[in-house]
Chain A
Amino acid sequence: MSATRVLLLPSRNVFTNLAAEERLLQSTNAKTLLFYINTPCVVLGRTQNAFNEADVSFAKQQQIAIVRRRSGGGTVVHDEGNLNFCWMTSRDEYSPKKAALMISEVLRNEFNVSGAHVSDRADIMIDGMKISGAAYRISGNRAYHHGTLLVKSDLEQLSRVLRSPLRGDLTASGTKSVRSKVTNVWVHQEVGMQQLVEAIAKRFAGTEHMRTLSPYEVDGFERERQEIMSHGWVYGQTPRFQYEVELDQGRRITLHAKKGSVIENVELHAGGEHESKQHGLRDALVGRAFDGGDLAQGLRASAGSIAESGAFFRGIADVLEARVPQQFWQREEDTHAGADENLIGL
């Protein structure tokens, strides 16, 4: 076992921190414990669907960034009351539960949180409620276990953004989130962030000494940051999914989106003569992005040219415009993440 170095990222920008984390994994071999804190954001697992996991319109309105991370697992929300840790090792030393066990030990022994324990899913729990979620990434001969630790988060605010209005009508492939009751460490012990970080560092590395690392020191950081901020990553990596919409009189349509949330097929479920209508729907919608405005525009453009189905198409346009989120894409600079360009410590 080689010595563990402890690093602290000074930014509160989620894109900056995730990019630095990824590039540290790829560009060094040192065993590393990393800490960072982000402004409010939704962080999806590698193969998840933003529409299914979050209210993307609410997120945009509140300037809460929606981010896709490179590790597996379910969606989490972060704010400045949440401490993120990442333990990087060689692939051979990778052990899914070890970091969680060590952190729960710190909570019990150093902060007297007697109920802290690790669940079967490697989450840290207190009295049956989750305070820390875990996710893993393996790349080449390196691996990490990273996780959240809810210290003093605004849980109510955070849960609102996860209430997706599309869930229930959307069938996503990829990983599903497991909803859990959550709580803060603060409920059990009023512990400061700095105190907690030092105690965890001591348990992992045998020292409280840590270095504040500028992300610009990390090889390949800027390119990675650009990539994870891109539409092509956040939405372009959405695995294929289906979305079913109720029309009227028991009629429904199913939108099939291929990888990248672009419509590749449309099915109309209605009794009787609907063959030609289904054909028309496909012509109007296939190739368009899964965006209520975009889909409605396609239908209205087609409605004019097919007199007998015009009203039918316009009706579906109204329904999709109302149900499918529109113009939800957020540029980084318009989110809380982008608003914070300062490099500040804990």
Chain B
Amino acid sequence: MATLLRSLPLRRVAQSAPAFMRPSLLRHFSSYPSDRKYNSSHEWAKLDGDVATIGITDHAQAALGDIVFADLPEVGSSAVSGERAATVESVKAAADIYAPLDGEVVGVNEKLEETPDLINSEPHEEGWIFQIKVSDPSQLDALMGSDDYEKTLEEK
């Protein structure tokens, strides 16, 4: 049951499901992978070697609704922790995506040009947004683990 629910976008469940299945309860099924770190503005960062892949969380995509456009950073530009690096737009809403770490942008998810809604359907996997070659991997220690991030959602 838990596995089935995890595979559904929370947004759709939220609209059609009875109260006990709504997102606040679904969060207890731990849909946030533990192989990465999170920040309070709902970005995730997954480090592989010295390259971190950045995306937004399931919670963030559900709150935004259907994403229709992603404005990606330029490869080669510098990313500064806590500053805007990208923008995604859902119907009428533009949301800043922050760089959670310092470094150089070394990749962007080009699939988002044609299919920006990958951020909705697979926020933690195929819907990643950009990649940073990090200048100081210890910055990751300041971000939250999946348990702590989920706790911040429960407090809301």
Task: Confirm or deny: B130 has a beta carbon within 8 angstroms of a beta carbon on chain A.
Answer: no
Task: Confirm or deny: B87 has a beta carbon within 8 angstroms of a beta carbon on chain A.
Answer: yes
Q: How far is the CA of A74 from the CA of B68 in the complex (A)?
A: 13
User: A122 and B95: CB pair below 8 A?
Assistant: no
Task: Confirm or deny: B38 has a beta carbon within 8 angstroms of a beta carbon on chain A.
Answer: no
Number of A-B contacts (CB under 8 A): 70
Query: Chain A contact residues: over half helix, strand or loop, or mixed?
Result: loop
- Residues facing A in B126-140 (CB within 8 A) are none
Binary contact readout B105-128 vs A (1 if CB under 8 angstroms, 0 otherwise): 000000001000000000000000
Query: Chain B contact residues: over half helix, strand or loop, or mixed?
Result: strand
CB-based nearest A residue for B68: A175
The one of A71, A92, A237 in contact with B93, judged by C-beta atoms closer than 8 angstroms, is A71
Which of A35-43, A55-63, A129-137, A200-208 is the contact stretch? A129-137
Q: How far is the CA of A96 from the CA of B87 in the complex (A)?
A: 18
CB-based nearest B residue for A173: B69
User: B84 and A139: CB pair below 8 A?
Assistant: yes
Contact A140 to B98, CB < 8 A, known contacts A92-B156, A239-B69: yes
The one of A70, A92, A96 in contact with B94, judged by C-beta atoms closer than 8 angstroms, is A70
CB-based nearest A residue for B95: A138
User: A71 and B113: CB pair below 8 A?
Assistant: no
| Interfacial chain A residues near B95, Cβ < 8 Å | 137-139
Contact A47 to B94, CB < 8 A, known contacts A139-B84, A173-B69: yes
- Residues facing B in A135-191 (CB within 8 A) are 135-141, 173-175
Task: Confirm or deny: A121 has a beta carbon within 8 angstroms of a beta carbon on chain B.
Answer: yes
> Known pairs A46-B87, A121-B92. 18 more at Cβ < 8 A?
A47-B71, A47-B87, A47-B89, A72-B89, A72-B90, A72-B94, A91-B41, A92-B156, A96-B92, A122-B92, A134-B92, A135-B92, A135-B93, A138-B93, A138-B95, A139-B96, A140-B41, A237-B71
| Chain A residues near B (Cβ < 8 Å) | 45-47, 70-74, 91-92, 94, 96, 121-122, 134-141, 173-175, 237, 239
